[in-house]
Amino acid sequence: MNSTTGTNQNSERVVRHAEYYIHGGDVIFRVENTLFRVHRYFFTRDSAFFRDKLPHPPPPGEFTKGSSDSNPLVLEDTHKVDFERFLWVFYNPKYSLYDGNVEEWTSILKLSHQWDFIEVKTLALRELEQLEIPPLRKIVIYHSYAVDRSLLQAAYAALTIREEPITIEEGRELGLETALQLARAREIVRASVPGGKGAGGNQNSLANAAGIELEALIRDYSNYRSLVVLLAVVQSRKSLSDVSPPLVAVTTTPRSARR
């Protein structure tokens, strides 16, 4: 992203963005201490949120929010770097070629979710799905922005069958509900596979179990109340003689299903 050029506004230094202060633009946003002048068309076309925020351009002589540098539409709870990345979707000089990294697409996913840009969110997800994202990070990102959890099947499976337990720091990132579900899922899988219990468990057996049944069932995760319930189905399908205790403590509806 390009640097910015500055002007003084009141007692506070405010800058015009060097790339996204477009002189043909018809709405001015302020994000942190940066002014962006862009085209309202993209915002009112794609977002119900902005159709409410941005009425038709005011008549001559009438000033409304977003009509001038001194009267911008302030976007609260938004970071400049995220907004720069979001605008790149509309002003990408390479047209349909989007060459972004995980951080950039996560910013775009965040704002498209926050402002109900459905098509932009679909684009961000399409691009993220083509990038390599560590399982923990992918779960955190997708949970944060209400992404379809069926897209997390491989990430759930990876954390379930990996040898190392979920750490305290990872638990904080995942949140209590998800961390507890994954911990319970790990117990169920290890109880389901010969040699799976304890530190000396057979990792190949766990991987095989995931490859055959676990991932197939995780594809249908949205049909289950929780990952723990899903893995209980894995357990029952294996017809184990050593059945785990009833699974009731953390069986809650996924956030994406509550929307």
pLDDT digits (tens, 9 = 90+) for 198-217: 444 455 555 555 444 555 54
- Residue 150, pLDDT score: 84
Q: Which residues pair with 4 in a beta bridge?
A: 17
Q: Which domain holds residue 55?
A: 4-129
- Residue 154, pLDDT score: 85
With 60 as the cut, is the pLDDT of residue 50 above it? yes
Number of structural domains in the chain: 2
Same domain for 111 and 189, yes or no, is no
- Segment 87-110 shows an average pLDDT of 92
Same domain for 111 and 20, yes or no, is yes
With 60 as the cut, is the pLDDT of residue 42 above it? yes
Among 129, 146, 172, identify where a domain stops: 129
Q: What is the largest CA-CA distance in the chain?
A: 80
Structure confidence by residue, pLDDT tens digits, 66-91: 889 999 999 999 999 999 999 999 99
Same domain for 73 and 33, yes or no, is yes
| 240-246, long-range: CB < 8 A, 24+ apart | 240/191, 240/192, 242/191, 244/187, 244/188, 244/191
Alpha helices in 23-162 (DSSP H): 40-46, 48-53, 80-91, 102-114, 118-129, 135-144, 153-161
Amino acid present at 157: A
Interatomic CA distance for residues 89 and 108, integer angstroms: 8
Give the pTM: 0.73
The DSSP line for 179-243 is HHHHHHHHHHHHHHSTT-SSTT--HHHHHHHIIIIIHHHHTTGGGSS-HHHHHHHHHHHTT-SSP
256 assigned to some structural domain: no
67 assigned to some structural domain: yes
Same domain for 118 and 141, yes or no, is no
Among 114, 129, 144, identify where a domain stops: 129
| DSSP 8-state assignment for residue 166 | P
